[in-house]
Amino acid sequence: MLPKDKEEALEGKIDSLQSYIHSPQKQKTLYKRTLFVVSISQIFGGAGLAAGVTVGALLAQQMLGTDAYAGLPSALLTLGSAGAALFVGRLSQAFGRRTGLATGFMIGGLGATGVIIAAIINSIFLLFASLLIYGAGTATNLQARYAGTDLANSKQRATAISMTMVFTTFGAVAGPNLVNVMGKFALSVGIPSLAGPFILAAAAYILAGVFLFIMLRPDPFVIAKMIEVTNQKPSNNGQMETIEQTKNKRGIIVGATIMVLTQIVMVAVMTMTPVHMIHHGHGLGEVGLVIGFHIGAMYLPSLVTGILVDKLGRTVMAIAAGTTLLLAGLIAALAPGDNMILLVMALSLLGIGWNFGLISGTALIVDSTETSTRAKSQGTVDVLIALAGATGGAMSGIIVSVSSYPTLSLVGAIISLLLIPVVIWSRGGKIV
């Protein structure tokens, strides 16, 4: 038995949580608070994500002395994020978003610290191991978008997703543009310059984890589960339940398909762009600028994307994603390597297409899952997204090494074009 004071404290906590169940006003207030807290954490998370993405391939290229494996860091990062997505999803299902997200960000910060040490001692083995762990930050940053939907109704879900992603923009754009600053800082303290951005990543991920752990109370997912259990009504219609389950499975498949294909294209082209630029005489500052535009385009359109997904429909915006990625691939393939304007345009369109695909696909996943299994299902889908990114990252270096960057961009354009018939077919030929 618990001591009386602890038992009373526990009962008070339970009563406090239960007060949300029958109070739409308290639910609405918590929904807004959750969006605010998650959005602030995304500023730090975005900085941690972007800093590592910008120089990961360059660091591996420098340590290995070849381009053939320059896509490997991205592959390892996304492979690590696959395992982390499953872990964070299951942790969130069992203990709530607060525990799952805070833990994921902390692990990501540990991985970034490992990358710094690997650069100092020039250990390629430690670099690759640390990049796997660093992937936890990427997975957590992505899964945080779900937290805003826990108390949102069906007409608010895409908008809630987009609101949290908008705030990622601030950190995501700042990260690449601090490459030179962090590089100089790293050199001043005896650390290789390319490890500098990972100093920022480590600090950003740890701050995001601490902030969520302290501020995400009460946990929106715990409240959502309690509401679902309370409002659950027994059903005697087995046929209706079967139809609903089939519809939900289809929605999950469609949502996952959208996000997997857009992730492959985005990661593949983005990963090799810094290497392509360095080969054409661009400096780290220019690489940071292009990647900054790209990552900004991944998140900033969220200001309107969520509203469009809720108003126009999930499939319409998924088709828009495929069309935008197709255009991005064609421009990247045809742009001269020394033309900054066309590279910025191509990478910006690449980010916008990814944004359309992620928000429309995520909304479909939320629409098609029940709270009792939602976080676990979301984690599983994010595993597929991460594995898709790992595939894109690993293949990108090989394709460029064997052929060229324009060839890689054309392959990305073709894959993105496949998204359109797949989505229409999956929705029974209806664009809704």
Q: Is 346 left (phi over 0), alpha (psi -120 to 50) or beta?
A: alpha
Write out the residue range of the structural domain in which residue 253 sits. Answer: 24-229+237-426
**pLDDT for residue 6:** 47
Spatial separation of the C-alpha atoms in residues 264 and 412, rounded to whole Å: 8
Cβ neighbours, 10 Å, residue 327: 18
In a domain? residue 62: yes
Pull the structure tokens for residue 120: 């100092």
What pLDDT is attached to residue 432? 47
CATH of the domain at 61: 1.20.1250.20
pLDDT of residue 10: 43
Residue 97 located in a structural domain: yes
Domain annotation covers residue 391: yes
- How far, in Å, CA of 72 to CA of 66, rounded? 11
Across the chain, which distance is largest between two alpha carbons, in Å? 74
CB-based contact 171:54 (threshold 8 Å): no
pTM of the model: 0.77
- Sign of the Cα torsion 133, 138, 139, 143 reads positive
Q: Is residue 16 part of a domain?
A: no
371 DSSP assignment: T
Q: How many CA atoms lie within 13 A of 283 on its CB side?
A: 5
Name every residue whose Cβ is closer than 8 Å to that of residue 426 and which is 6 or more positions away in sequence. Answer: 250, 253, 254, 257
Token pair for 3: 């001591």
What amino acid is encoded at 250 in this protein?
Answer: R
Token pair belonging to 364: 């479909």
Q: Is residue 2 part of a domain?
A: no
pLDDT given at position 59: 81
Which of 373, 430, 370 has its CA nearest to residue 90?
373
Q: Looking at this protein, which amino acid is placed at residue 215?
A: M
Closest CA to 126 of 70, 69, 190, 60: 60
- Token digits for 173? 């754009």
Q: How many domains does the chain have?
A: 1
- Sign, CA dihedral 357-167-157-34, equals positive
**Phi, then psi, of 216 in degrees rounded to 5:** -85, 65
**For position 392, what pLDDT does the model report?**
85
pLDDT along the chain (432 residues), means of 10: 49 64 86 90 83 73 71 75 89 93 95 92 89 89 85 83 82 74 89 88 93 92 85 57 62 88 92 87 84 84 90 90 96 90 95 95 88 86 85 85 92 89 66 49
CB-CB contact of 131 with 77 (8 Å): yes
Read off φ and ψ for residue 178, nearest 5 degrees.
Answer: -100, 10
Q: Is 18 within the bounds of a domain?
A: no
Q: Is residue 4 assigned to a domain?
A: no
Cα–Cα distance between 142 and 94 in angstroms, integer?
Answer: 19
271 within domain boundaries: yes
